[in-house]
Amino acid sequence: MAINIAKSCEGSFYPFSETFTLNDSVLDGRLGKITSPCVVDGTYVVEGNNVHIESRVKFSIEFICDRCLAKTDRDFDIRYIGSYYLDSTEKSEGYIPYFNDLVDISIGVEPEVLLRLPSRVLCKPECKGICQKCGIDLNEDTCDCEVATEASIGTNNNPFAVLKDINNSTGGAGNGSTEG
Ligand SMILES: [Zn+2]
Ligand SMILES: [Zn+2]
């Protein structure tokens, strides 16, 4: 959960790997669920009362498609850079406090995760969504709602539909006679 810097020499870079569970608050009220632990791999360096972190953060979230409501998995691999200050010392802007020799990076990582989540998630770029009328998933099936609309434009509401039928029958005969 926290990096222990008690035995770290100032100015040296140390590798670290931390795993923790992201708080649901990173979803910021949107539908979805965190489906993996948050794994942070990187290096840290101690500089006076400050600790600087550079890392990669990996985690997975199951979203709900904004168009068709299908469950949609997303894997994230983001870069995280943060600076921490010992709580008893004067704080610097943008720095996050740590206590004793323990640096809890989840405090800095979670707000970063929240910022990096997409505002809109689709199960696939060309997702057709669900029919507004009957609620069918248009990615998997078609419904009569659309077809009925097209048919009504094509025949019932088109005054030239009748003419088209006449043209077809006479035209067919004409073609036949020309060829023959
Ligand atoms: Zn979808
Ligand atoms: Zn429909």
The verdict on residue 177 lying in a domain is no
How confident is the model at residue 163, as a pLDDT? 56
How confident is the model at residue 94, as a pLDDT? 83
The verdict on residue 121 lying in a domain is no
Ligand nearest to the CA of 133: 2
How confident is the model at residue 45, as a pLDDT? 98
Number of folded domains in the chain?
A: 2
Looking at the structure, do residues 140 and 110 belong to the same domain, yes or no?
no
Q: How far is the CA of 144 from the centre of ligand 2 (A)?
A: 6
How confident is the model at residue 172, as a pLDDT? 44
Looking at the structure, do residues 108 and 147 belong to the same domain, yes or no?
no
29-35: long-range contacts at Cβ-Cβ below 8 A with a sequence spacing of 24 or more? 30/63, 30/117, 31/63, 31/64, 32/61, 32/62, 32/63, 32/64, 33/61, 33/62, 34/59, 34/60, 34/61, 34/62, 35/60, 35/61, 35/62, 35/73
Looking at the structure, do residues 66 and 10 belong to the same domain, yes or no?
yes
Q: How far is the CA of 164 from the centre of ligand 1 (A)?
A: 39
Q: How far is the CA of 61 from the centre of ligand 2 (A)?
A: 30
Domain that holds residue 139: 128-171
Per-residue pLDDT of the chain (180 residues; tens, 9 = 90+): 799 999 999 999 999 999 999 999 999 888 899 999 999 999 999 999 999 999 999 999 999 999 999 999 999 999 999 999 998 877 778 899 999 999 999 999 999 999 999 989 999 999 999 998 999 999 999 998 854 444 444 444 555 555 555 555 544 444 444 444
Looking at the structure, do residues 108 and 141 belong to the same domain, yes or no?
no
Looking at the structure, do residues 140 and 94 belong to the same domain, yes or no?
no
Q: Copy the structure tokens of residue 5.
A: 């810097």
